[in-house]
Amino acid sequence: AKTVETGNPDVIVIGAGVAGLYQLHRLRGLGLRVKVFEAGTDVGGTWYWNRYPGARFDSESWSYGYSFSEELLQEWEWPEHFSAQPDTLRYLNYVADKFDLRRDIRFGCRVVAAHFDDANDRWTITLENGEPASARLLITALGPLSAYTLPNIAGRDSFQGQAFHTARWPREGVSLAGKRVGIIGTGATAIQCIQTIAAEVGHLTVFQRTPNWAAPLHNRRITPEEQKKIKASYVEIFERCRQTSTCFIHQTDPRKALEVSAEEREAFWEKLYGEPGFGIWVGNFADVLTDKKANELASAFMARKIRERVRDPKVADKLIPKDHGFGTRRLPLETRYFEVYNQDNVRLVDINETPIECITPQGIRTSAEDFAFDILIYATGFDGVTGPYDRIDIVGPGGRRLKDDWVGTPRTMFGMMAEGFPNMLMVLGPHTARGNIPRNIEELVDWITDLVKFMRDNGLRRVEPRVEEVAAWVAEVEQAVEGLLFAEVNSWQTGVNRNVEGRQVRRVLGYYGGAVEYRKRTGDVAAGGYREFMFR
């Protein structure tokens, strides 16, 4: 990678993924000097790191790309309705080249600390090699799922075969053909990985702690006619995304599962099950994610599908979640995932029945037996949303540490600024609306860019949210999850990661009042001259 001088930037951005790239582009448009620091050796963020077999969109490709450049929209062609990671990475490289972004990005350097100089209103960051850089404004584009976590299992380092976390899959790839492979985890990542490698490996053992509900992706290639149609409809596609609360193209159905007839319910669920994408999750009946009874019915429908697809009833039963209802965790989308368990070379091990005791030089020992593997895959997930912040020593005025502040529910304004941390702006921090992430990112970056412009135009050098406004926003954030079934379930979305000390308590980490409301609230504050913030 080309080395870029640290220089004397107006703004430091951490991260060159979907968020950091667009933030750089927008700030340049204001004529500001920007330096981006990126841990990876190239652009892409999530799509740079997650190279495991089968990694792909669960959002429609044509609703996922940047919307800011009509030229880019017309030039780029997604090959599939739900494109694979190599294509997304190719896309982000294309964007970086087209807008000449690389010259302001320094690759291969992890930011380990960021300290605020209260007297001079400046942030100084420190890189892993000890090198400092400083700027008035700090923008974090860290990604909500970049801090990967490994299980704390005794003997983890003693394994003598190859072992990888899915988020650190080697660039050069891994030869899986004929190998004995073990995989820990059954989240969205594991499901994509398992269904992709099952046919190629010699033998696959899946260690499952919690099964997840999963629905068919129904991916296929985009035909030339569809390509033309997509390119002609981008205005409508993005307008549709703006109207939904998750920024996906799927809109919640106004009907309630409990108010329609059993036939109508069944027919609708069959239809959704047969359609591509997240419709069955975020375009379902209005009460499925809020009403226990409605949710139980939807779960029963999904359980029946699993039983139809898995031959061995005992295995099917293990694959059916019992501890959480359909859609209360981020719904993995799959392609013949359940059928994998009909293959002779695949075995499901329920580690609630036979817990993993340790990792051995040869493989894994459970309470019941010893497994030997050539390759061990950790699809064990991430310390979500706040994890990437915890890994940087962020210190504000008076020695206030963000990590200590965020032991409980973070205190933010719109999830874009943290209380007590002036001049630090977060793209996709906690308490922003989330769903189709690039759509959220574009709006957040635009809002942040407007604020930076406002400061520049008015000669302001310091911004922070008013404490009482933060309190009001946090109260609103906590109120917004009331009645939502997902809030009562452990997952990265509720901030629980059993592999991370202190992360066993559920927290509210997003704004779940919907993107439409979020857009209105943040827009009103900007239009009103940012009275919720203090400036100097």
Name residues whose C-beta falls within 8 Å of residue 423's C-beta, 6 or more positions apart in sequence.
116, 121, 122, 123, 136, 137, 138, 462, 463, 464
Among the listed residues 140, 189, 205, 244, the single contact to ligand NA7 using CB under 6 A: 189
Among the listed residues 28, 98, 330, 347, the single contact to ligand NA7 using CB under 6 A: 330
Pairing of strands 412-413, 417-418: antiparallel
- Is residue 247 near ligand NA7 by the rule CB under 6 A? no
- Is residue 187 near ligand NA7 by the rule CB under 6 A? yes
Residue 193 exposure: Cα atoms within 13 Å on the Cβ side:
29
Name residues whose C-beta falls within 8 Å of residue 214's C-beta, 6 or more positions apart in sequence.
191, 331, 332, 333, 334, 337, 338
Distance of CA 4 to the CA centre of its chain: 28
Measured distance CA(452)–CA(530) in Å, rounded? 11
Least distance CB 500 / ligand NA7 (angstroms):
10
- Is residue 83 near ligand NA7 by the rule CB under 6 A? no
The total number of residues written for the chain in this structure: 536
Indicate the residue among 327 and 465 with the shorter CB distance to ligand NA7.
327
Among the listed residues 143, 185, 327, 410, the single contact to ligand NA7 using CB under 6 A: 185
Least distance CB 498 / ligand NA7 (angstroms):
6
- Is residue 295 near ligand NA7 by the rule CB under 6 A? no
Measured distance CA(208)–CA(380) in Å, rounded? 10
Measured distance CA(62)–CA(442) in Å, rounded? 15
- Is residue 316 near ligand NA7 by the rule CB under 6 A? no
Distance of CA 60 to the CA centre of its chain: 15
- Is residue 209 near ligand NA7 by the rule CB under 6 A? yes
- Is residue 205 near ligand NA7 by the rule CB under 6 A? no
**Of all residues in the chain, what percent are helix, strand and coil, respectively (each to 5)?**
35, 20, 45
Binding span for ligand NA7 by CB under 6 A among 87-95, 122-130, 183-191, 505-513: 183-191
- Write the CA distances from 205 to 200, 258, 311, 333, 364, integer angstroms: 13, 40, 17, 21, 10
Among the listed residues 19, 96, 127, 188, the single contact to ligand NA7 using CB under 6 A: 188
- Is residue 210 near ligand NA7 by the rule CB under 6 A? yes
Sketch the per residue contact string, 438 through 477, with ligand NA7: x for CB under 6 A, - otherwise. ----------------------------------------
Indicate the residue among 61 and 380 with the shorter CB distance to ligand NA7.
380
- Is residue 190 near ligand NA7 by the rule CB under 6 A? yes
Binding span for ligand NA7 by CB under 6 A among 72-80, 178-186, 264-272, 389-397: 178-186
Least distance CB 122 / ligand NA7 (angstroms):
35
Indicate the residue among 125 and 141 with the shorter CB distance to ligand NA7.
141
Which has the closest alpha carbon to 316: 270, 284, 290, 348?
348
Please say whether the beta carbons of 364 and 182 come within 8 A.
yes
- Is residue 186 near ligand NA7 by the rule CB under 6 A? yes
Q: How many residues bind ligand NA7 (CB under 6 A)?
A: 20
- Is residue 379 near ligand NA7 by the rule CB under 6 A? yes
Indicate the residue among 46 and 522 with the shorter CB distance to ligand NA7.
46
Indicate the residue among 134 and 210 with the shorter CB distance to ligand NA7.
210
Which has the closest alpha carbon to 66: 37, 99, 35, 39?
99
Here the tokens at position 324 are: 């959480």
- Applying CB under 6 A, which residues contact ligand NA7? 145, 151, 184-190, 209-210, 330, 351, 379-382, 492, 498-499
